[in-house]
Amino acid sequence: MTSASRTALITGASAGIGATFARHLAAQGYHLLLVARRADRLQDLARELAQRHGVRCEVFSADLMDPASPRAVVAHAAQLGMSIDFLVNNAGLSGHRKFIDTPWPELAGEIQLMMTTLTELTHLVAPGMVQRGWGRIINVSSLAALSPPGESLLYSAIKSYVMVMSQSMDMEFKPHGVHVTALCPGFTHSEFHDVMGTRKTANQLPPILWQQPQDVVQEAIKAVMSGKPVCVPGTFNKIMASLMRPLPLWLQYQLGKAFNPFK
């Protein structure tokens, strides 16, 4: 089976890293099922990719904070006759208020979106991949998973879960031809900070910290195809990750407390 007969499901596909994944995979001949809340942007992207690459490109508008959404997405794929061979769990957000000042429904939404929905989608599509003897799953974690924790943020804890969970699933699935990679990007040029209301702070960070989404996605696809369970894209990010991991936990705590850029 070649990529021309395979289908990729991408969440958070309306912009940024998700849309970039869609463009790269469509160029490789994958049919696409694009999922996000903004139906109009999904439709525009789907038309663009179908016309440019001649692939089938379907869309499904869903709020992935809804606990019913993972099953709804997979049921829609089944209704369309699309078997998912490549899953990109990309949808995400980050709170920017103190933990106790954030209403619980917002915190629960973060957990649902980036932990529960991600895990359930993996659980729903992985059996088919294992049965067919081929599959690729990219779970978007973050450099934050390898860095000191940030004050008041669930984000680094959630992304740490995504990284560890991905490695565990890769151990289970790889003997069956299914690779799972945790993608751990650092600061990436996208709409993420605009949506989160942190653009002003982000713009104050030095240029060396930033990557283009095209570079992140290219490295991620190369990593999952070659079977790497963790991908830290970019030379600077690799250096930072290698420097942070050996640090004792007490020092990681103090560094996270002192240098959280969104504090």
Q: How far apart (Å, rounded) are the C-alpha atoms in residues 53 and 39?
A: 21
Cα separation, 181 vs 230, in Å, equals 5
What mean pLDDT is predicted for residues 10-28?
Answer: 97
Instruction: Give the three-class secondary structure for 257.
Output: helix
* pLDDT value at 193 more than 50: no
Of residues 81, 77, 70, 86, the one with CA closest to residue 22: 86
**Residue numbers annotated as active site:** 155
Mean pLDDT, residues 114-121 taken together = 98
pLDDT of residue 247 exceeding 80: no
What number is the average pLDDT over the span 88-110?
Answer: 92
Residue the block writes with tokens 């942070």: 244
User: Could you tell me if 140 and 185 are in contact, meaning their C-beta atoms sit under 8 angstroms apart?
Assistant: yes
Q: Are 142 and 156 in contact (CB under 8 A)?
A: yes
**Higher pLDDT among residues 263 and 144, named by residue:** 144
- Mean pLDDT lowest for which of 55-64, 80-89, 92-101, 206-215? 206-215
How many helices (H) and strands (E) would you count in the chain?
Answer: 11, 9
Res. 23: pLDDT tops 50: yes
- State the pTM of this model: 0.88
pLDDT of residue 147: 87
**Residue 190: closest CA among 9, 10, 20:** 20
pLDDT at 259 over 90: no
- Rounded to whole angstroms, the Cα distance separating 62 from 54 reads 25
Residue type, 29: G
In this predicted structure, what is the pLDDT of residue 2? 62
pLDDT at 152: 77
Average pLDDT over residues 101-112: 95
pLDDT mean across residues, the chain: 90
Sign, CA torsion 89/32/215/204: negative
The two most distant CA atoms of the chain are separated, in Å, by 54
Tell me which of 185 and 261 has the higher pLDDT: 185
* Residue whose C-alpha is closest to residue 260's, from 114, 95, 111: 95
Identity of residue 152: S
**Residue pair 10/42 in contact by the 8 Å Cβ criterion:** no
**What domains can be seen in the chain, in order of their start residue?**
3-259 (3.40.50.720)
State the Cα–Cα distance between residues 138 and 17, nearest whole angstrom. Answer: 12
Provide the 8-state DSSP code for 2: -
Q: Write down the pLDDT at residue 240.
A: 86
